[in-house]
Chains A and B, each alone.
Chain A
Amino acid sequence: MTRLPERLGEFASALLAPERPVPEGLVGPDGEPSARRFAVYRNNVFVGLIDALRAGFPCTVRLVGDEFFAAMARVFAAATPPSSPVLLRYGAEFPDFIASFPPAESLPYLADVARIERAATEAYHEREAVPLTPSALAGVPPDQASMLRFRLHPSVRLLRSPYPAFTIWRMNAADGKPAPVDLSEAQDTMVLRPDAEVDVRQVVPASHDFVAALGRGLALSQATETALAKDSDFDLSENLRELIQMGAFIGFELETRGAQP
């Protein structure tokens, strides 16, 4: 008799590879093999995973149509089944897969739209953290402000695209209206969930680089230099005000005095 590990192993392999024969000894009520019965399990696995991806990438579904999406998701699922039973994590590699999926080549922005969707899902499930209020900065001596190191909200995600990925994402969201776009326009996107709602917004390239630099732990002065290198018109106080208003920071440190608050 075949031992349990081999038995489940051949079952699992045949599930994910439709070209493989149904393992022996899996039978219907007459004791005879039944491919149709095994096919129920094969189908369940793929339907479940495709549904999970469909739920996580609704704009991508809208852009390519459900039939194309399901076919694309099926190829991904067969090659990259989930590694965790926590399916809300599934699909992190899907945007990269889309970028390398030849049949989707005619939509070069598709992977970046999917990256925005993935970032929004991650932000949705990210741990809770209370954003910094504007008054929290009141006690910082002006001469030390340049030394501030902000801690970003854990849900912050930044995305850079050579395409108008944000606009395409926005127009294909549930309440969006598709309209012609200029595909030569590059767009950066910032995703954040400071409270109950996920905030997805377009940011200018200098702001993107500024937040990215703060996220790497650079002091305010260094992050400002990075932003100014991208755009000499970068306005520090306006950016700081807007980021605090968005809830993008959860704390800061002053090198001389340790962690605040």
Chain B
Amino acid sequence: MGIHQTGHAAERGIPARAGVSLKADHYRTIIETRPDMGFFEVHAENYMGAGGPPHRYLTAIREHYPLSLHGVGLSIGADRPLDQAHLQRLKALSKRYEPGLVSEHLAWSSHGTSYLDDLLPLPYTDDALSRICQHIDQVQTGLDRQMLLENPATYLWFKESTWRETDFIREIARRTGCGLLLDVNNAHVASTNQQWDARAYINDFPLDRVQQIHLAGHSRQTDEKGRPLLIDSHDRSVDERVWNLFSQVIQRIGPVPTLIEWDTNIPAWPELQAQAVMAEALMGLSNTEEQRHDTLA
């Protein structure tokens, strides 16, 4: 990938460092204090208004930081044709802000004329596979760039599934040439909920395709049989077990652009920044070993 001429002062490419979700609560702090941060990531749909303060802040922040664009509404797994108007909106945003990475989910969220506002699970069948690949082809053609596909946090399993999740994702990447976003928290949540071995999941995952990692917090419930049911809530700091899995990934593939996602119960800026510092420490990017131990403590 060549260096593109951009209208933004900051580079287009995302460095192999930690970044955080960009939240309105932190706009001013970021602009006024210009913290050391590898990149910021936004949910594309939050910037699909015609104008207003969200665009003003994002434009100002993009001047100084690389940006990744994370879609939550394209519904790539849906059985209906891809929403072309939505794809055009995503394309317009991508042109305007020149993000280093654009990602979406292995999930569906629209049905009929309704948007269901959740990342819903799919059966891992040949039928679903070919539909998903068609949609990813359309996205990559429409955006004129590669997209990354994110592994889901799931709470149940479709009985008719004939593929293991990691094989299903590998096959999608092989057929479409898309990159992958490995959400390590999702891998932990899904593995716990489905009673898979999370370390084996990571080992089976096509890590050679991974261009970005997501880390987030989850909450804990139990199902009707008392089995653990983890919820991908993005409302707290990253769990110890997820940090451990993250280290396992880094040992295999080295430092990767790694995002701390935090979408509800947004903390004060220093707490969010500390999570990014932790991720960089585990990637061996921090200055000293002591710093890493301090963060862990």
Binding site for B on A (CB under 8 A): 1-5, 7-9, 11-12, 15-16, 24-31, 34-38, 40-41, 44-45, 48-49, 51-52, 81-88, 124-128, 193, 196
Contact = CB atoms under 8 A, between A and B. Distances in A.
Given A37-B155, A37-B193, 4 more contacts: A15-B118, A45-B116, A86-B48, A128-B52
Contacts of A1: 125, 160
A37 B116 contact: no
Nearest to A42: B118
Contact of A193 (B48, B52, B115): B52
Given A28-B223, A88-B46, A48 B111 contact: no
A7 B79 CA distance: 9
Contact of B114 (A2, A5, A83): A83
Contact of B118 (A24, A45, A88, A126): A45
Given A36-B224, A125-B54, A3 B118 contact: no
B79 A8 contact: yes
11 contacts: A1-B160, A11-B111, A15-B118, A28-B225, A36-B224, A48-B118, A83-B115, A84-B86, A126-B50, A126-B52, A128-B51
B58 interface: no
Nearest to A23: B158
A85 B225 contact: no
Contacts of A3: 127
Contact of A85 (B110, B120, B229): B110
Interface stretch (B67-75, B139-147, B246-254): B67-75
Contacts of A86: 45, 48-49, 73, 86, 89
A48 B118 CA distance: 8
Given A4-B127, A37-B156, A40-B231, A126 B115 contact: no
Given A8-B79, A87-B117, A27 B49 contact: no
Given A12-B116, A48-B118, A25 B160 contact: yes
Contacts of A85: 45, 72-75, 83, 86, 109-110, 115
Interface in B243-284: 264
Contacts of B164: none
Contacts of A41: 118, 120-121, 155
A126 B51 contact: yes
Interface in B130-180: 131, 155-160
B37 to A, nearest CB: 24
Contacts of A11: 111, 120
Given A27-B157, A41-B120, A34 B113 contact: no
A40 B152 CA distance: 14
B48 to A, nearest CB: 4
B114 A12 contact: yes
B53 interface: yes
Nearest to B130: A4
B182 interface: no
Contacts of B72: 85
A51 B75 CA distance: 21
B52 A8 contact: no
A8 B160 contact: no
Select the residue from A24, A87, A128 with max chain B CB neighbours within 10 A.
Answer: A87
Contact of B111 (A9, A51, A127): A9
What 10 A-B pairs have minimum CB-CB distances, sorted nearest first?
A85-B73, A125-B49, A12-B111, A127-B50, A29-B195, A25-B159, A128-B51, A5-B79, A48-B117, A37-B156
B171 to A, nearest CB: 16
Contacts of B128: 4
B158 A82 contact: no
Nearest to A123: B52
A2 B160 contact: yes
A8 B89 CA distance: 25
A4 B52 contact: no
